[in-house]
Structure 1
Amino acid sequence: MTVRRIGVAVTLSAMGVLASTLAPTTAPMAHAGTRECAEGRSQFVPDSPPALGRLAAPQAWRLSTGKGVVVAVVDSGVSANNVHFPAGSVLPGKSFVGGSATTDENGHGTALAGVIAARDIGEKSGVVGVARDAVILPVKISGGEGGDEEQQRSANLAGGIAYAVSAGADVINLSLSTTGDRRDVRAAIASAVKAGIIVVASGGNREQASEASDGMRYPAGYPGVIGVAATDNRDVVTENSIRGPQVDLSAPGDNVITTFRSWGDCVYSQQQQSSSYATAYVSGAAALLRQRFPSASAADISYRLTATASRGSRTARDDTSGWGVVQPYEAMTAALDSSVSGPVPPGGVQRPSPEAQASAVDLTPAQDPRAPDRAAVQWLLLGSGAAVLGLAMARMLRRPSRS
């Protein structure tokens, strides 16, 4: 049986070469009771993706479905002939590696596009994107029949971002990361942020990185970018997710049910979960907010997503999960003002943290406020006792003696 793996494990140097954050250690697996996902054989998973429940997507859809919002997937292309992508749901896009952007030999880009905006096709499949009416703009920077994918990603990333900006993207999904701070990518990101585009990027995966230690990753670390870590089925950030200052939010990254190239659905279950999927879920959430708040700035939407994320402490972020697990419904319904704990709102000032003041502890025994009263009573009782004793002795002395 031929099994198609989605993605290829990549080992890259820290010299600015980009690595896809989806490189499974196992092949994609079908739902229990079905056959393994393989090329040329369409099959469907009737279960709803678990992440949609964890993100309260059905409640969010009462307010927004992402309709009219364009999400650029800068990746390996998108198989637009998948049944979850009817006409008009995937734009022609652009390929930087030859051929069409609406084909995907790797499958990574199609899986991401399904997480973001797969269309509901009825009871035979539970797959639907978190922003189910958004439009996908495929920007193919790697893949095709030939060429080194590592070099392609490195050479084409900045151009792919620039194209997404010029093509009118509202959200840009970048499910990739590197330790290298490249000038051309930084400039492309800055242009996207200036244009008011919401840019979402992977915070990094340990297993697919040449440098597995925690620390800064790019493009997530650039100003204005939302960096994302992956969580497991308990909403706990996976050990595989890179920790660092680039992490702003977290989202589901395992047991993902989504689109499988041209052939329906597949369950992507890995020994190590992927922040690629988590990034796509946050991009979908951003698309919901973009439709809901059409005049809001990208910074305003980013603030809503981070301020309302689910976390243990409302006042603090950390390098593991950022501000917490994204909650699109809360992000669309919360009344946010300067009193809300958490990230600083756009144009706001960092709230000072109160510092504990050291002070000496006075160990001098406290005065008893009733001590004088107690002393007076004691002297009165002592005096009364002495008087009674004196009278008794006097009476004894006056008694006549008996002979």
Structure 2
Amino acid sequence: MKRRRIAIPVLVAPLLIASLGVVALPQSAAPAVAADACTPGVMAQIPGPPTAFAAMGIPEPGLRATGAGVTVAIIDSGVDGTRPQLIDAFAPGSRSLIDDGERADGLGDPQGHGTALAGIIAARADGGSGAVGIAPDARIISLRVFRGDDEESVRRGFGPDAGRIAAAIRTATDLGARVITVALSDDVDTPALREATAEATARGALVVASAGNRSTTENTSDSPRYPAAYPGALAVTAVDTAGIATDASIHGPHVDVAAPGQNVLTTSTGGGDCVYAADAPSSSFATAYAAGAAALLAEAYPDEGPEGWAYRLEATGDRPDPDARNDLTGWGAIRPAAALDLRPDATTRGPLSPFADTSDAARSTPSTRVTATPSDDGDSAPVTAVAVVAAGLVALCGLGAVLRSRRKRG
């Protein structure tokens, strides 16, 4: 029987270093150079701010929210707790759900994926480093659920596993996380994973999950990925440095929003700053940016809950048609400042609102078919959208038949 693989992206740095240990290395004041910036043991610094900030419309002075008082769970390969930008970022409760000889507290990460996500979300300012999180005052919990997706890790039972991810979502919910980051994707609907996501949502936590990457899955069709496609979850895809969706990502009706996923400046395991995904955008990094943005909204609007935070990101997304989502980028690329400033009312255009009757704001309901067009130079090419418009205009009362509800009910 062919073994199913839950998808994670391949990082550009060689991070499977079993001998890193847990000793913090001294920080170097020297700027990073391209050849060695991502090498474990090289504590170089790359100037910031991250280019993703400008792409998301974050002003140079910063945002009025910082994620203070909000706990974000990162369900992934662990987080290197010795990174200078992350040492003060942890809330109680981090742990490893696998016993592979690494730290039991979840603060080891030989793979490096989780450490990169943690830096995107909550890295603190540290000297000359430009690797600063979008929610730099949020606190994080590392729930380590896999070592790697290589053959040896999978053979020993340390690969990504839907049941273990479900257990971690339940643990994150019990620990009080308001945002749960799952930058992993599976093309199989697993009852345990569905139930854990539903429970998290019901208890006030927003599950922010990757909509999928094409290069890390055997099923490359534009089809639902889990837990992103479950009701209540926020499914995130990636756009490139120009804000364009490319064939590097999985698209489809499950996609809610998009975020930057290319040339991502963040923290690296056992080292200093690193720029990941230089060649093509990764939905994992986009998921982390969306999770950090959700933490900002959880701080500013704690009583609105996961539905309200997701709505704000969707309603203010940058999209071609203000009245409709599409299968490439959902409701559009996130704009955290606009989401924070939104005063939702009956005139707010876009997704169905939990705050007001937006009957007069929604007008048309185009669906989108995705066609990947190879570029001449062989690089990842923009995806072509072919609009297939339903006959006639559809009133809001009939949207359920042709337009996927914003919260993916059922």
Task: Give the TM-score, by structure 1 length.
Answer: 0.79
In terms of fraction of residues, the more helix-rich structure is: 1
- Within the alignment, does 1:344 sit opposite 2:352 as a pair? yes
Written as runs of structure 1 = structure 2, the 5 A alignment for 1:132-211 is 132-143=136-147, 147-148=153-154, 151-211=159-219
Question: Which secondary structure state, in structure 2, belongs to the residue aligned with residue 207 of structure 1?
Answer: helix
- Which range moves more in the overlay, 97-106 or 71-80? 97-106
CA contact (8 A) 1:28 1:269 kept: no
Q: For the residues of structure 2 that align with 1:37 and 1:271, how far apart are their CA atoms?
A: 15
Amino acid at match of 1:221: A
Amino acid at match of 1:237: A
Amino acid at match of 1:68: G
1:242 to 1:222, Cα distance in 2 relative to 1, 3 A: same
Written as runs of structure 1 = structure 2, the 5 A alignment for 1:210-229 is 210-229=218-237
Q: Which residue of the partner structure matches residue 18 of structure 1?
A: 6
Question: Which secondary structure state, in structure 2, belongs to the residue aligned with residue 57 of structure 1?
Answer: coil
1:93 to 1:33, Cα distance in 2 relative to 1, 3 A: closer
CA contact (8 A) 1:257 1:265 kept: yes
Q: For the residues of structure 2 that align with 1:37 and 1:90, how far apart are their CA atoms?
A: 27
1:261 to 1:92, Cα distance in 2 relative to 1, 3 A: farther
CA contact (8 A) 1:84 1:264 kept: no
Q: Which residue of the partner structure matches residue 80 of structure 1?
A: 81
Q: Deviations over 1:179-211 (max 9, x none)?
A: 100000000001001011111000000111110
Q: Which residue of the partner structure matches residue 362 of structure 1?
A: none
- Within the alignment, does 1:326 sit opposite 2:334 as a pair? yes
Q: Note the C-alpha offset of 1:87.
A: 3.0
Unmatched 5+ residue regions in structure 2? 16-30, 365-390, 394-410
1:269 to 1:347, Cα distance in 2 relative to 1, 3 A: closer
Q: Note the C-alpha offset of 1:340.
A: 1.3
Q: For the residues of structure 2 that align with 1:235 and 1:32, how far apart are their CA atoms?
A: 26
Count of residues in Structure 1 that have an aligned counterpart in Structure 2: 341
Task: Report sequence identity in percent.
Answer: 38
Q: Which residue of the partner structure matches residue 385 of structure 1?
A: none
1:35 to 1:262, Cα distance in 2 relative to 1, 3 A: closer
CA contact (8 A) 2:344 2:355 kept: no
Q: Note the C-alpha offset of 1:86.
A: 2.8
Q: For the residues of structure 2 that align with 1:83 and 1:33, how far apart are their CA atoms?
A: 21
Q: For the residues of structure 1 that align with 2:14 and 2:323, how far apart are their CA atoms?
A: 39
Amino acid at match of 2:191: R
Q: Which residue of the partner structure matches residue 93 of structure 1?
A: 94
1:229 to 1:62, Cα distance in 2 relative to 1, 3 A: closer
Q: For the residues of structure 2 that align with 1:201 and 1:248, how far apart are their CA atoms?
A: 10
Written as runs of structure 1 = structure 2, the 5 A alignment for 1:369-388 is none
- Within the alignment, does 1:112 sit opposite 2:117 as a pair? yes
Larger Rg: 1
Q: For the residues of structure 2 that align with 1:206 and 1:88, how far apart are their CA atoms?
A: 32
- Which range moves more in the overlay, 184-193 or 292-301? 292-301
- Which range moves more in the overlay, 136-145 or 322-331? 136-145
1:356 to 1:141, Cα distance in 2 relative to 1, 3 A: closer
Amino acid at match of 2:136: R
Question: Which secondary structure state, in structure 2, belongs to the residue aligned with residue 340 of structure 1?
Answer: coil
Amino acid at match of 1:23: V
Q: Which residue of the partner structure matches residue 47 of structure 1?
A: 48
Q: Which residue of the partner structure matches residue 267 of structure 1?
A: 275
Q: Deviations over 1:133-171 (max 9, x none)?
A: 100110000118984266443341111111001011010
Q: For the residues of structure 2 that align with 1:92 and 1:40, how far apart are their CA atoms?
A: 27
Amino acid at match of 2:255: V
- Which range moves more in the overlay, 58-67 or 69-78? 58-67
Question: Which secondary structure state, in structure 2, belongs to the residue aligned with residue 189 of structure 1?
Answer: helix
- What's the C-alpha RMSD, in Å, of the aligned pairs? 2.5
Q: Note the C-alpha offset of 1:263.
A: 1.5
Written as runs of structure 1 = structure 2, the 5 A alignment for 1:237-256 is 237-256=245-264
Q: For the residues of structure 2 that align with 1:270 and 1:94, how far apart are their CA atoms?
A: 31
- Within the alignment, does 1:302 sit opposite 2:303 as a pair? no
1:64 to 1:151, Cα distance in 2 relative to 1, 3 A: same
Q: Which residue of the partner structure matches residue 371 of structure 2?
A: none
Amino acid at match of 2:94: G
Task: Give the TM-score, by structure 2 length.
Answer: 0.78
Unmatched 5+ residue regions in structure 1? 1-11, 358-403
Q: Note the C-alpha offset of 1:50.
A: 0.2
